């Protein structure tokens, strides 16, 4: 059970918009620690998608965007494409655990 809670799955049709939430608490996101997002296509290594809550590394399409408010963060994907099918993980730091933490992951299915 992770201290960062994500929905197990989300889905959407090509071209649609989906959001993935990452809910934390006052010991992690609410304490001001940044949230970062990773994309993992099954069978491959994770890839950095969003860092510092809202920033996209070079090469990541602007269809991906991040936001943070209070004790939660969100990843939004617009203009869904079949290639976006993957597992998505949020990550931050937790003061109670004194360590880096990941959300449980969200499987995105493009219908």
State in angstroms the smallest separation of the CB of 63 from other proteins: 20
How far is the C-alpha of 9 from the C-alpha of 65, rounded, in Å?
18
Nearer to other proteins, 23 or 38 (CB): 38
Nearer to other proteins, 47 or 63 (CB): 47
Chain-centre distance for alpha carbon 105: 8
State in angstroms the smallest separation of the CB of 1 from other proteins: 11
List the one residue out of 32, 33, 63, 64 whose CA is nearest residue 48. 64
Nearer to other proteins, 64 or 93 (CB): 93
Q: Are 34 and 51 spatial neighbours (Cβ–Cβ below 8 Å)?
A: yes
Q: Which residues bind other proteins (CB under 8 A)?
A: 2, 33-34, 36, 38, 40, 44-48, 51-52, 57, 87, 89, 91, 93, 97-105
State in angstroms the smallest separation of the CB of 29 from other proteins: 12
How far is the C-alpha of 18 from the C-alpha of 26, rounded, in Å?
26
Nearer to other proteins, 79 or 103 (CB): 103
Q: Are 10 and 108 spatial neighbours (Cβ–Cβ below 8 Å)?
A: yes
């Amino acid at each position: 059970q992770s201290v960062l809670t994500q929905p197990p799955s989300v889905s959407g049709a090509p071209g649609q918009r989906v959001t993935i939430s990452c809910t934390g608490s006052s010991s992690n996101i609410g304490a001001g620690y940044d949230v970062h997002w990773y994309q993992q296509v099954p069978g491959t290594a994770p890839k950095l998608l969003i860092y510092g809550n809202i920033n996209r590394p070079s090469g990541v399409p602007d269809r991906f965007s991040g936001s943070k408010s209070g004790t939660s963060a969100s990843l939004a994907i617009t203009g869904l494409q079949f290639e976006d099918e993957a597992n998505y993980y949020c990550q931050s730091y937790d003061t109670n655990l004194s360590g880096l933490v990941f959300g449980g992951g969200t499987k995105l299915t493009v219908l």
